[in-house]
Amino acid sequence: MNSMVVLPLVLPLFGAFLLPIIMRASVGVGLWVGPAILLYGCWILGNQWISGTAMPFSLAIGGFAPPMGINLYVDSLALLFALAVQLLGLIFWPFKLDPETARRQALMLLLVAASTGLALSGDLFNLYVFYELVAVATFGLISASSTGSAYAATIRYLILSGIGSVLTLLGIALIYSQTGTLNLAHLAQLAPEQLNNKLGLTAFLSILIGVGVKAELFPVNTWVPEVYATAASRVSAFLAGLVSKLALLIILRLLVLIFHQQEAIQVMLFLGILGVVSGELAAWRAKDMRRMLAFSSIGQLGMIFIALSIPDQAGLLAVLALSFHHLLVKSGLFMLADGWGGAIENLRGAAKRSPLAAIVFILFSLSLIGMPPLPGFWAKFTLITELAAQTSPLYLIGLAVFLLATVIEAAYLFRLAALLYRPVSEEKPIDTIPKPAGVSLVSASLFGVGLLAAALFITPVGELLNHVAGQAANAELYIDTVLAGTGGGR
Amino acid sequence: MSKEIAHWLDNLLEEIEGIKVRRKSSRRVRVDVPADALPALLELLQGRAGYIHLSAISCVDWIEEEEFELVYHVWSYESHSLVSAHIRIARDPGVYLSVYDLYQPAAFFERDIHEMYGIHFEGSPNMEKFILTEWNGPPPMRKEFDSEAYINEHLSWQNYNPEWLQELIAEGGGIIIPPEEQRFSQKKK
Amino acid sequence: MAPLELIIELVLMPLVAFIVGLMMVLMMRRIAAKLQRRVGPPFFQPLYDIVKLHGKRTQVSHGMIHDIGIVMAMGGYIAAETLLPVPGMNGIAEKGGIITLLYLMMIPSLGLALGVGQCANPNGSIGIARALTAMLAYDIPLVIVVFGVAYAAGTTNLVEIIATQQAGGFETWGAVQMPLLAIAGLIAMHASLGKQPFEIYIAPAEIATGPMVEMGGKYLGGLFVMQSFQLYTTSVLYVSLFLGGGTTWFDFLLKSFLVLAIPVSIAYLFPRYRTEDLLRLMWKWPVMLGLIGIAFVM
Amino acid sequence: MSSIKQIPVIEEKRTNPLARVFDELVRFCRSRSLFLLHYCTGCGAIELPPAMTSRFDMERLGIQPMVSPRQADILLITGYVSIKTLKRVILTYEQMGSPKYVIGICSCTVNGGMYWQSYATAKKLDEYMPVDLYIAGCMPRPEAVIEGLQQLMQRIKTGEAKGWEDYYRNYDYYLGNQQKLFGNDWQTPTDVITEAKHYDLLGEGTLGEHTALLEQHQQPLEALEMRLGHQVKEPAE
Amino acid sequence: MTLTLLDELLLFSGVTVLVALFLGRRLPAGWMVTILYGIQLLSLLKMAPLGYGGDPIPSTLILEVMGQTLSWRFDALSWYFALITLGSALLSSWYACGEWEQRFRQAGGNVWLFHLAMALNVFSMLILLASGDLLSLFIGWELVSWAGFLLMAMAGGVATRAAMRYITYAMVGAMAIFGGIALVYVSAGSLQYDAILTAVSQMGTPHLWMLVILFSAGFGIKMGLMPFHLWQAPAYAETPGPGSAFLGAISSRMGLFAILLVLVKLFGIVNIESLKIPFTLIDARDLLAWIAVFTIIFPTFTAMKQNDARELLAWHGIGQGGYMLLGLVVADAMGAAGGLLHVFNHATYQAALFMAVTAVIHRTGTSDLNKLGGLVVRMPLSFMVLLVGIIGLAGLPPMNGFVSKWLVYRSLLNEGMPLLFVAAVIGTLGTILSVYKLIHNIFLGQLRVEHEHIKEAPWSMMIPMLILAAIIFITGLLPGIPLAWVASVQEAVGLSVPNYTLGGVESASGSLDMIWVIGVLFAGFGIGALVFYSAGKSKRVHQLDNYAGGHFLTADIRYQYSDNFYAGLMHLIGGWYRGSFLWLEKSVKSLVEFLSLGMQGIYRRANAEFYLLSTALFVIAWVVI
């Protein structure tokens, strides 16, 4: 039963390569292949989650026992992320019919496969491979919207992520030279003696910056505004919502299992704070809706990085709460941005045209700011109490920056909300005001409903996240599940 | 006014033909000019002789000669001397042109003369009444207007004849010329 | 204090205040006359004025609020009198302290302000604006002085303040204990009377006696009564705060007449202050003296 | 003075003695406390300051100068009254609270004085308002003014100075003279007729053809009464 | 589970919100909502023993969220504030429905949203008042500030801009409180009040300093204390009619409730007093007192310069807030009683004043003081209500404002704080001046030609105003009634209680008995009236029959003196109005603009790789060295 877990990873991969062929054969069938695969993937992961057999468990690919072969480590955190990938892939499925559909759907399948792989894989090099695959798939998807600025953005993003992956490779090579193995569990055993020195730290930092490109870490996220502004809003929703979180997952795994040095956490905290400050302040002046959302996501991810820098399980709980909340809200907002893209000025009076969209927008911004009953408040509350508990002054600065950032965020979000409701002069015909497309409005309100549901059942959601964080936090569980299956490593 | 300035002024005034100059004293010159030559004279005095201040315009009602006499008193701060230009205009149309463009204060004097004598000045900015706003009779300063007759007709008198005054008169005191003879209006009749 | 006795006191105190007030108005006009080397009005002149004004046959009113204004002007002071202890009669001084008295002394001027407002006369409104500004000016030093005295005596009850001052005879008088506060109080009292140097709001030539421009007949009569009450209340308040109140009626009246003589005689020697000069003067010297006085008291 | 002579000078005595004593007291106070409004129309006004200040000191007689007509009892017309000023003098007179007295100083108010010939001055002041006392002299000296004032005080004490009632009782006569001078649409903001009705000083001479003329073109002058206005239906805009 | 009284109250409040939400479109919605407020008030009165020393009533609803327990309960303090909230809500919504509603709908206003916003405001305020621990306090606080934003922003245009400015200030306040809660949670382990009480005693001074600053700043913003007061006047003035009456009466007092709860009850005044500011001889309590005193003076003198009646009243709302804080911070028996009583008094007369001004706007269409005048003859009842209100606002004897100000002054006198005393008196005098300008420019003076045919405000608006005027006078005459509630609040919060009687306060160093003072005052008025009305008949004259130096007044010329009303005073202090706080606010705004410009610059750089390489180099260098 456990081995079924591989399918959601493998099937989309095959689908991606077969799709152009099927598409050429008959478009009708081709259209349904992608969603079918994804639905099947969701079903597998869903009943895996429900059946909840002995979590976590390790799956050796091709019979080679770790640390030699490649193994998939499936614990509740990984499963959650994988399920999220399948689901979001389904929601953001590019249905639009035009000559590019085949290529775009194939790339989407590839992206989903790579992301699931990223979530599940337990081997460092395997992570690197999937990371590259994800990067390639995103280049294709962004350039698919075939506009001049999209190409320029893609090129700039290509160069940046290329250098990033070189740095990651450098880090992995250093770790390999030091310990001789790439399996995470094995590394976790060896880390205290071998990787606890300066060399280990350099390796971690280079991986941090390399992966940070995707995770929108402060200095390396200059590609974010252009890419999210020019790419199709479905793609940028998927990128902003999920892919950046997966990159974060890698760093999370490394931090929990291998690296415990203090300097690493300090660097991450510092970069996180800078990310929050730059993201929120840039968003204050943004004139374009998508660009504003891009900067806001930089800010939010900066907050998640601050949460990541809090050691042990409490920090992880905050990270998970913040990231899943951001996932829901940001993808919803990007869905709204589908119709409402472009300059903010001509959004004046948009509420009159589509009252539902305006209400959903206000719901999302209230939750983003942390209005009490909504889950955003509880996520911020956990983060705040953790940050306050820390002793070193940098954390207090982080707390202050976090609070001020929320104020700025409230200011620019509600400036936009007030603009929506401002009466528009009569002679301006009603239909020239932009209106979000039907489908994306439906998915946005779907996210809204998800948010409200999370608000109502906050306590069970709280326990779930706590359980997941607990499982992810203890490294020993990870090591003995992976290595126990193979009778102890070398 | 020093000798050479006075001399210089005299031959300056010669330029206006039909002018009669009479020097009243070292600081006063009387000039008689035909009515239409006045603006030229005033321009000359203001422009070349430094008479920049029009201190007054007065008017005399020659009822027998059927003429109004307008006198323009112009003063110069440099030569400290006053030139009075006298002109005569016919009484019945009683119309003359305004010198407002040369001297702004003229507006006020002309308005006053219009109210009191009924002379109309073309070009004067404002000709409404401003002193005799309650008065709707003829211009009162004209000679043919008999103020006392107007009063006798409109107002009544206090026959102020208390006892003590009567006893005084009885003893032969009191006023020598009885009040009736004193009245100007009775004198004529 | 039997209720009947209290009722008599409540009626008697305003009456005494009115009579003494009339005498004070007379003294003021007599001093003014003597300063200008004039003979001065006959003895009962203030009474004649008031009776004549109340005896007028036709009087002009601008509305109900105009009448109520005058009633409040007189009524306010009548109520204030009952809070001022006089030798032999304490009225309801215990029931409300100095702060209540200061507020009750504000009610007549505000009632008058309402009445004058209704007359729709620009002179009146300008007068009232200046009167309120003058009130702002002289009330601050007055409050500082009252704070000083109340803090020194530890109570706001006038009866006790007078008792503490009379305890040690001359030495324990307020003026002796707190000389600076006494001087500041004097200046503030002079300004509150609204006499010559500080009467910008009744400036006859400029705004035709300000608030009183539309007051004829019994309205003006009411204001004359208010003026007499005002003189009485201010001087008696000063006496009870600084000169130890009156042990007997004679020295009580002597002290209050002397106290009133000072500002009144200063009054007719100075030209009128502009409003902002009045403010500047009042906020500079008496406030400074008062604060230093309080520093000593503290 | 012509028309005043006919009214018999009988002081209607009130019945009960207390009222009579009270009237006596009020009349005494009225005579001993006079508020003076000297309307400096002409040159006579220069005589007033010496009468008030230290040399002659009016205050010992109880006379105080007052600024506004509402507060004044005596209206002192000092000098010639030009027609333009007469309008303002009549307005001021009507704004005074009665019992009010008019004193005409200088012979100009008596019979036109030095300006008897002038078309612009009013000759007889008492045609337009009841004058209680004339002080002749082309600027009477302060002694004469004070002498006049003392005579007025005497007449107030005896109750003879009733000029102000005459203005109400013969308003039509005065209004006629005023309309003759100022034209038929002459109107002062004070509503003398309703005032006469209010204080029941209506005489037979109050209403006549001149007041009828006044009625035609009079703007509404009734006081703004305080009302809720709920029952007043909206005026048809 | 049996429904406690508190649950009943919250249930009714929730029902009101639902009624306003769903049935709001139909016409009688206004009346339905008003009746529901009435029911809520009844259920509150059933909890009356709370007001007289009864023990707190817990609510059955207890939530366990993310490891925190949220509980709600009502004690004397929350009962007192709830009474004021529901009272002003009932009267404001009664005032709203009827003719005002129709006029508001004709003018394009959204009546449904108005009633919904009011109901939301009341519901969130009740939740805030009932909060049992610090977390539920914060949740209630956020709900109140957002409900307030909704009520302020619904009028559109200028109101939305003012509401935006309010919400930025409110967010800064909320985040300060949120930070404070985090710090308290860390040191106290849990957010329950008793846990915090024990933790506060061992807390170090720098830690306590940080908490006091955070909490007083956060709550101070809502109360409009000095440095953060700029948002309140435009926001309250622009809210539609009865909304401004409700907000003016109670909304900013929620800040005082929170200060009372946190600073006085949890931290205790004695601890706050122990926090000394180095190198100066004042401590935290004096700092708060001086902030309160500046909050009294500056807004009052700003109010004097306003030319719009609603702005003037809103500025006074801020000023009076200073008195309440001053009374509380002095914290002796009389001072605290004065501060708390002032909350009740201010709610009554501020609501009455705003309603009267709205009635004038309803009839004349404008609230600009230079376009009104002489309305007393056409709107006498509104005049009477405004008169009663301004006597209360200025704190003069017959009305209740006097009692609470008297108590505050007496406590300052007892504690021996001369400078505070004088500053408070300057505030009162400033109030009297600007309040007279209000009544003079609207109701007294020359009635304009266009206002000659206007009518008195309709009865649906007049009855609540008359009820408020009656309350103001009765609580002025018998201050004992509210003083009883205030005493039980003082016990609940742990402050000493003055011995109060029905007429006022008895104390050794001078007492106050309002029944006697008002009795004597009205006796004086009686005698004055006797003397006045026995002196012959007087006749009403037309307003043009006025002495103007012999000039004939005509109706079309406006001779009313209303602009630059205190010219003399303004000559002297005119120069001091430099708007330094406005400048402060602008500089903060431009700083944020400048920083965001810089940040956007970073993201516009073309060669992004430069960043990547430089950070990598920097980090590795940092590690190696």
C-alpha radius of gyration, chain E, whole number: 26
Mark whether C and A touch (3+ CB pairs within 8 Å). Answer: no
Question: Greater confidence, C175 or B115?
Answer: B115
Is C57–D29 a contact, with Cβ atoms under 8 angstroms apart? no
A418 token code pair: 């007030």
Query: Is some CB atom of chain C closer than 8 A to the CB atom of D227?
Result: no
User: For residue A86, what are the contacts with CB-CB under 8 A and spacing of at least 6?
Assistant: A8, A38, A41, A42, A45, A112, A116
pLDDT tens for chain C, 298 residues long, are: 578 888 888 888 999 999 999 999 999 999 999 998 988 899 999 999 999 999 888 888 988 899 999 999 999 999 998 888 888 788 788 777 888 899 999 999 999 999 999 988 999 999 999 999 999 999 999 999 999 998 888 888 888 888 888 887 788 888 888 899 999 999 999 998 888 888 888 887 788 888 888 888 899 999 999 999 999 999 999 998 888 877 888 989 999 999 999 998 888 888 888 888 999 999 999 999 999 999 988 7
List, for residues A154-209, the tens digit of each pLDDT value.
888 888 888 888 888 888 888 888 887 777 777 777 777 777 777 888 888 888 88
What is the count of structural domains for chain C?
A: 1
- CA distance to partner chain E, nearest, from residue A465 (Å): 10
Q: Are residues D155 and D194 in the same domain?
A: no
Over range A254-272, report the average pLDDT.
Answer: 82
Residue of E nearest to C97 (CA): E510
Tokens of A72: 């998939």
Q: What is the pLDDT of residue B179?
A: 63
Which chains form contacts with chain A, at 3 or more CB pairs under 8 Å? E
* Sign of the alpha-carbon dihedral angle for A176, A181, A185, A190: negative
Domains held by chain D: number: 2
The token pair at D112 is: 């036109």
Task: Tally the C-alpha atoms within 13 A of residue B169's C-alpha that lie toward its C-beta.
Answer: 10
State how far residue A281 is from chain E, nearest Cα, in angstroms. 4
B158: nearest CB among D110, D117, D181: D110
Q: What is the pTM of this model?
A: 0.89
pLDDT value at D1 more than 70: no
Most confident of A193-207, B71-85, D177-191: B71-85
The SS3 assignment for D121 reads strand
The CA distance from D133 to D161, in Å, is 9
Quote the minimal CA–CA distance from D117 to chain B in Å. 5
Query: Do chains D and C have 3 or more beta-carbon pairs under 8 angstroms?
Result: yes
What is the pLDDT, as a whole number, of residue B73? 94
Residue B116: which residues within 8 A CB-CB, separation 6 or more? B59, B139, B140, B141
Predicted confidence at residue A213, as pLDDT, reads: 84
- CB < 8 Å from E in window 211-270 of A: 213, 219-220, 222-225, 263, 267
Which residues of chain C are within 8 Å of residue D28 when distances are taken between CB atoms?
48
Higher pLDDT, A29 or D6: A29
- For the domain B3-131, what is the CATH code? 3.30.460.80
Positions of chain E with pLDDT under 70: 1, 606-608
Of E146, E164, E611, the CB nearest to A219: E611
Looking at beta carbons, which residues of chain E come within 8 Å of D199?
Answer: 537, 539
Interatomic CA distance for residues B137 and B131, integer angstroms: 13
End-to-end CA distance of chain E: 67
Q: How far apart are CA D170 and CA D187, in angstroms?
A: 17
| Whether the predicted pLDDT of D9 surpasses 60 | no
Chain D interface test: which of C53, C58, C224 (most D C-beta within 10 Å): C58
- Whether residue D60 lies within 8 A of chain C, CB to CB, comes out as yes
Query: Domain range holding D182?
Result: 170-218
Identify which of E167, E164, E169, E162 has the alpha carbon closest to the alpha carbon of residue E224: E169
What residues does A150 pair with on adjacent strands? none
Q: Is residue D10 over pLDDT 60? A: no
Q: How is chain B split into domains, by residue range? A: 3-131, 146-189
Euclidean distance between CA atoms C13 and C83, whole angstroms: 9
Residue A121 DSSP code: B
Q: Which residues of chain C make contact with D67, given a CB cutoff of 8 A?
A: 204-205, 208-209, 213
Query: Which of C127, C114, C105, C81 shows the shortest CA–CA distance to C236?
Result: C81
Q: What are the residues facing B86 on neighbouring strands?
A: B32, B71
Same domain, D147 and D182: no
Measured between beta carbons, the chain E residues lying within 8 angstroms of C57 are 536
Chain B environment of D87 (Cβ under 8 Å): 134
State the sign of the Cα–Cα–Cα–Cα dihedral E5, E7, E8, E12.
positive
Bridge-partner residues for D64, per DSSP? Answer: D35
Query: Is D190's CB within 8 Å of E545's CB?
Result: yes
pLDDT at A35: 83
- The verdict on C190 touching E (C-beta cutoff 8 Å) is no
Query: Which residues on chain B place their C-beta less than 8 Å from a C-beta of chain D?
Result: 132-135, 137, 140, 147-148, 150-151, 154-158, 160, 184
- The pLDDT of residue E61 is 78
Parse chain A into domains and list their residue ranges: 261-456
Counting beta carbons within 10 angstroms of the beta carbon of residue A88, is it exposed (0 to 12), middle (13 to 18) or buried (19 or more)?
buried
Determine whether the interchain pair C48/D195 forms a contact, defined as Cβ–Cβ distance below 8 Å: no
Alpha helices in A422-437 (DSSP H): none
**Placement of tokens 């404070």 in the chain:** E180
For residue E526, the chain C residues in CB contact (below 8 A) are: 75
**ipTM score for this prediction:** 0.86
Q: Judge contact between A216 and A276, C-beta under 8 A.
A: no
Residues D50 and D154 in one domain: yes
pLDDT in tens, D26-81: 999 999 999 998 888 888 888 888 888 888 888 889 898 988 899 999 999 988 89
| 8 Å CB contact between E521 and C107 | yes
What pLDDT does D8 receive? Answer: 46
Confidence at residue E17, expressed as pLDDT on a 0 to 100 scale: 87
Give A371 to chain E, closest Cα distance, Å. Answer: 7
In a domain, D134, yes or no: yes
Mean pLDDT of chain D: 84
Chain C residues touching D188 at Cβ < 8 A: none
HEC letters along E278-292: CCCCCEHHHHHHHHH
Angle at E399 between CA E397 and CA E404, to 5 degrees: 80
Q: For residue A457, give the nearest of A370, A361, A378 by alpha carbon.
A: A378
Q: Which of A193, A458, A478, A420 has its CA nearest to residue A321?
A: A458
pLDDT, position C113: 92
Is E602's CB within 8 Å of A267's CB? no
Chains touching B, CB cut-off 8 Å, 3+ pairs: D
**What is the reported pLDDT for D237?**
47
D191 and D139 in one domain?
A: no
The 3-class SS string of chain C reads CCHHHHHHHHHHHHHHHHHHHHHHHHHHHHHHHHHCCCCCCCCCHHHHHHHHHHCCCCEEECCHHHHHHHHHHHHHHHHHHHCCCECCECCCCCCCCHHHHHHHHHHHHHHHHHHHHHCCCHHHHHHHHHHHHHHHHHHHHHHHHHHHHHHHHCCCCHHHHHHHHHHCCCCCCHHHHCHHHHHHHHHHHHHHHCCHHHCHHHCHHHHCCHHHHHCCHHHHHHHHHHHHHHHHHHHHHHHHHHCCCCCCHHHHHHHHHHHHHHHHHHHCCCCCCCHHHHHHHHHHHHHHHHHHHHHHHC
- H-state helical runs in E156-240: 158-188, 193-202, 205-223, 232-238
Structural domain harbouring C280: 3-297
Question: Does residue D108 share a domain with residue D19?
Answer: yes
**% of chain A surpassing 90 pLDDT:** 2
For chain E, say whether A463 makes contact (Cβ under 8 Å): no
pLDDT for residue A486 is more than 60 = no
Q: Are residues D179 and D101 in the same domain?
A: no
